[in-house]
């Protein structure tokens, strides 16, 4: 549903002030889910904007519904029928966006979030995005591949745990929920990344460090490679500099290389064209700054020759305690400088980043905006892929920070459905916007206003624009025909004044697409 601007005929200076006021409209809290009937029965509540049909269960013959947009404004309402306990609602008229949908029948009401995205089924083969999924800790009925496909990823990391695998002379078998999800990912054209971790039966159940246990781990890696060949990537361990590493050798780069080298060589011996990734160095906030733990660790890893045993470099860069600007892109810049110093030019993936939405933490709408800001800067800095952590909340515990990094709510929140947080919708929109484009940081002349320019092969020029501290009025001059959309993919308020397209920006990015390059201006 488009939202026509009330500002189309205003003078530029008055327009600037009005736009700034408009962008500061507060967000309402999402309504709580009710425990009573009815309930949405779609496995994943993300829909293509061209056809939004929501399936629900109800003991009543009639229901009413109301859909509130991301600002808490009622965007649509009506009624529907149910037959034999089942019914559908056609909500196509809502248009792209994030919504809280409330369905009411004689027994009560329930509210579930839904996301509506243009081109939801577009090909993701060239996507610059990935995600981490945990099929082993969710209900077997949860199709995580469908959720991953909805947000537009090309790769999905899946834990391929040593402790749950059965390794025999002839091969390796794994938890059925994990192998089923890997099979679904492959069938959907999404490339799995198997994280070969964590603890076997040797070395006291800790991260392998003895010669015999490292050899057993390498054998586990090789047999996994024989199982999947070149259809998946192989990540040798995860965050060896952090708590996941319980090795008696320690958390040093040398200790990790002692594990990485034989595992990588065993994988390559089994499947010569296999892709090995690492070191998945863990980091948050200032760890990539001068003297920071991740920066120091990775520099030593490179100096010791560790880059020779990976085909793709993976780093982590969480910004847990502040806004994302200056964090993730700094990690990419530093890691690339260290690789260049070591004489290696390898693809660099930020494979873990993100924000917890636990109670008392970041509001869901802010996490959705921060994801776009972080990803845009990380990709513009030269990362080949951005992979927020993680797909679905680890468990249903609203007060637990570690449980609430997902782009989707835990399945228990919506009675078995996987319902999106704001970030699922913002990532779906972003992944499609930047596809096949070249991203560069654009100077705006204002330290508070950020712009990442996207240039496509067909000559179109896009911009992802936002402000950090306060709202601003901006304009694109001589941009040709310019379309403007908000962070959720809906049409955003803007106006044409002479050769300018004028709009407001705040903490939630906007997307501008012009038929000509144009010039970005900050008006106020």
Interval 175-192: pLDDT, tens: 999 999 999 999 999 999
Check if 12-25+440-522 and 39-117 are the same fold: yes
> Looking at residue 36, what is its pLDDT?
65
Whole-number Å distance between alpha carbons of 487 and 507: 10
Per residue in 461-470, pLDDT (tens digit) is 999 999 999 9
Residue written as token pair 């781990």? 217
Q: Which residue from 310, 275, 315 is spatially nearest to 298, judged by alpha carbons?
A: 315
Whole-number Å distance between alpha carbons of 241 and 244: 8
Per residue in 2-58, pLDDT (tens digit) is 222 222 223 333 333 333 333 433 333 333 334 468 999 999 999 999 999 999 999
Q: What pTM does this model have? A: 0.93
Whole-number Å distance between alpha carbons of 497 and 507: 24
Q: How far is residue 1 from each of residues 97, 153, 182, 412, 492, measured CA to CA in Å? A: 9, 26, 36, 30, 11
Contact, 188 vs 150, CB < 8 A? no
CATH topology for the 39-117 domain: Immunoglobulin-like (2.60.40)
Per residue in 308-353, pLDDT (tens digit) is 999 999 999 999 878 999 999 999 999 999 999 999 999 999 999 9
Contact, 257 vs 306, CB < 8 A? yes
Q: Look up residue 432 and give its two tokens.
A: 């499609």
CATH topology for the 12-25+440-522 domain: Immunoglobulin-like (2.60.40)
Burial string for 479-494 (b: 16+ CB within 10 Å, else e) reads bbebbbbbbbbbbbbb
Burial string for 181-199 (b: 16+ CB within 10 Å, else e) reads bbebbeeeebbbbbbbbbb
Domain boundaries, the chain: 12-25+440-522, 39-117
Q: Look up residue 295 and give its two tokens.
A: 């920066």
């Amino acid at each position: 549903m488009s939202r026509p601007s009330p500002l189309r005929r205003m003078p530029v200076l008055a327009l600037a002030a009005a736009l700034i006021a408009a962008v500061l409209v507060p967000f309402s809290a999402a309504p709580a889910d009710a425990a009573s009937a009815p309930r949405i029965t779609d496995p994943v509540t993300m829909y293509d904007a061209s056809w939004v049909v929501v399936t629900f269960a109800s003991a009543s013959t009639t229901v009413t519904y109301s859909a509130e947009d991301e600002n808490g404004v009622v965007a649509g309402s009506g009624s529907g029928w149910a037959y034999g306990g089942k019914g559908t609602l056609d909500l196509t008229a809502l248009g792209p966006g994030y919504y809280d949908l409330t369905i009411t029948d004689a027994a009560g009401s329930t509210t579930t979030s839904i996301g509506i995205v243009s081109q939801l089924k577009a090909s993701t083969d060239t996507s610059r995005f990935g995600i981490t999924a945990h099929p082993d800790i969710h209900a077997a009925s949860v199709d995580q591949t469908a959720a991953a496909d909805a947000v537009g990823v090309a790769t999905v990391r899946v834990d391929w745990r040593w402790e749950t695998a059965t390794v025999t002379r002839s091969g390796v078998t794994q938890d059925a929920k994990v192998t089923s999800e890997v099979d679904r990912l492959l069938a959907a054209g999404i490339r799995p990344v198997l994280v070969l971790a964590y603890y076997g039966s040797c070395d006291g159940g800790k991260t392998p460090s003895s010669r015999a246990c490292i050899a057993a781990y390498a054998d586990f890696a090789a047999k996994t490679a024989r199982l999947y060949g070149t259809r998946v990537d192989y990540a040798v361990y995860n965050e060896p500099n952090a708590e996941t590493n319980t090795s008696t050798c320690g958390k040093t780069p040398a200790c990790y290389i002692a594990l990485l080298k034989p595992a990588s060589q065993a994988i390559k011996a089994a499947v010569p064209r296999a892709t090995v990734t690492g070191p998945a160095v863990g980091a948050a906030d200032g760890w990539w700054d001068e003297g920071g733990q991740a920066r120091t660790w990775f520099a030593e890893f490179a100096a010791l020759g560790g880059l020779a045993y990976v085909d793709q470099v993976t780093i982590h860069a969480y910004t847990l305690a502040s806004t994302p600007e200056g964090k993730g892109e700094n990690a990419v810049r530093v890691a690339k400088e260290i690789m260049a110093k070591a004489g290696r030019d390898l693809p660099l993936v930020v494979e873990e980043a993100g924000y917890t939405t636990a109670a008392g933490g970041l509001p869901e709408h802010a996490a959705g905006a921060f994801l776009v800001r972080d990803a845009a800067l990380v990709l513009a800095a030269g990362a080949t892929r951005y992979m927020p952590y993680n797909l679905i909340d680890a468990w249903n515990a609203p007060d637990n920070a570690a449980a609430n990094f997902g782009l989707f709510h835990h399945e228990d929140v919506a009675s078995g459905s996987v319902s999106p947080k704001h970030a699922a919708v913002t990532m779906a929109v972003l992944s499609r916007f930047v596809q096949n484009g070249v991203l560069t940081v654009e100077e705006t002349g204002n330290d508070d206003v950020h712009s990442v320019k996207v240039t496509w092969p067909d000559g179109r020029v896009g911009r992802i624009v936002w402000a950090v501290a306060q709202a601003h009025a901006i304009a694109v001059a001589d941009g040709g025909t310019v379309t403007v959309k908000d962070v959720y993919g809906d049409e955003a308020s803007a106006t044409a004044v002479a050769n300018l397209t004028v709009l407001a920006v705040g903490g939630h990015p906007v997307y501008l697409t012009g038929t000509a390059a144009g010039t970005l201006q900050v008006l106020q």
